Structure 1
Amino acid sequence: MAKTEILGIGDMRAGFERVRDDMRKRTSRRMLVAAGGVLKGKAKVIALANGSRRTGAMIKNIAIKRETSAPAGTEQYHLGVRHGRNLTAKAKKSGAHLAVSKKGRIVKRYEDDPYYWRWVELGHKVVGRATGETGQQELTYTRKGRSGKLITYKRKRSADSLRARQARASGSVAAKPFIAPALEQGRGEALKAMESKLQQDLEKAGKA
């Protein structure tokens, strides 16, 4: 069996070593889910304090998710906001609808999709809407080719394209982070929740 290691819990490692081999995966998941629940609750509280609405889609979709591609012998969970294809099946089924994109393509969109959550977490530029301007811009840039020599390239883009509007943007909206502060502020409570689950499993194993 691959060695199981839990990172960042210090003195709990010795206690975890006493867990039976056949229980380690289950116990490690229970510990991380307990810690994730604490951090998720903390993130929701911080988001509300930042001014987000209680019934807003962003807060409702703050969640933890298990990493299915974690390295062998480890368990990983992510704290973030479900959005787009990662919304729950119920949310996608009840709120899905077809729409025509700006490029004329038929796309699937979801109601109450908090696709914007990273803008809230990290801040963002204020980008103007497309105005229908028909002019073009010529861009010149230099980069190394396969031979290692610098090559100058030229390309054109619409003056009304998203990239062009982003380049012209001068204003910005300050970040209102809630994920990063939750990870920092909730660390102690999360470790206590992990320790509690560990002790529960050790007690169960002792009674078995």
Structure 2
Amino acid sequence: MTTIFEGLGDLRKAMADHKREIQTKTVRRMVASGGAVLRKESKTIARKLGLEKTGSLIRNIAIKRERKTPPGVTQYNLGVRHGRDLGKRHTKFLALSKSGRVVTKRVNDPFYWRFHEFGTKYIQANEFIQQSLKNKRTEAIAAMSAKLKQEIDKANRTVK
């Protein structure tokens, strides 16, 4: 049985019938599915712009759930993992900076992604993240809607 929603009232009613844990998981999965559409488009645009010199920038385009949000809000950020966010999978090494300090650097760290996205005095902006939102906004919303219907149908089957 497929669920059909006529508006926000129907959606609120369907969500109110389920436990808080199921609501949270459903909303997170729904928002992540929309983010996945945008992530895929960002990678495609970055390849078209020729930003694939080492592949590091494109491999590290990711969505990440924001943990510190107000109650009732689910937020995912689309961006490029860099620096400390790369985690343990990237090799760290010590280097000497121009000022003589010892600094930690990471192999294949795409720290330069914001130069391409936002531009600098010398580099023209090649927006790949913002452009993906412009290109795939409706597809992301459709993916979120489809995921929501799928999750509510799944929850209804487990309750009965």
TM more than 0.5? yes
Change (3 A) 1:183 1:103: same
After superposition, the CA RMSD in angstroms is: 1.6
Residues 1-208 of structure 1 mapped to structure 2, 5 A cutoff: 13-14=8-9, 16-17=11-12, 18-19=14-15, 20-22=18-20, 23-53=22-52, 55-91=54-90, 95-125=91-121, 172-208=122-158
Q: Deviations over 1:63-116 (max 9, x none)?
A: 01111111111110000000001113312xxx2111111111111100111111
The structure whose residues are more often helix, as a share, is 2
Counterpart Cα distance in 2 of 1:55 and 1:112: 8
Calculate percent identity across the aligned residue pairs: 42
Runs of 5+ unmatched residues, structure 1: 1-10, 126-171
Change (3 A) 1:13 1:42: farther
**Residue type matched to 2:61 in 1?**
I
Counterpart Cα distance in 2 of 1:13 and 1:184: 25
Runs of 5+ unmatched residues, structure 2: 1-5
Larger radius of gyration: 1
Kept after mapping to 2: 8 A contact 1:32/1:194: yes
Please, what TM-score do these two structures have when normalized by structure 2?
Answer: 0.86
The structure whose residues are more often strand, as a share, is 1
Q: Which moved more, 1:110-119 or 1:17-26?
A: 17-26
Runs ≥4 residues deviating over 4 A: none
Counterpart Cα distance in 1 of 2:71 and 2:97: 41
Please, what TM-score do these two structures have when normalized by structure 1?
Answer: 0.67
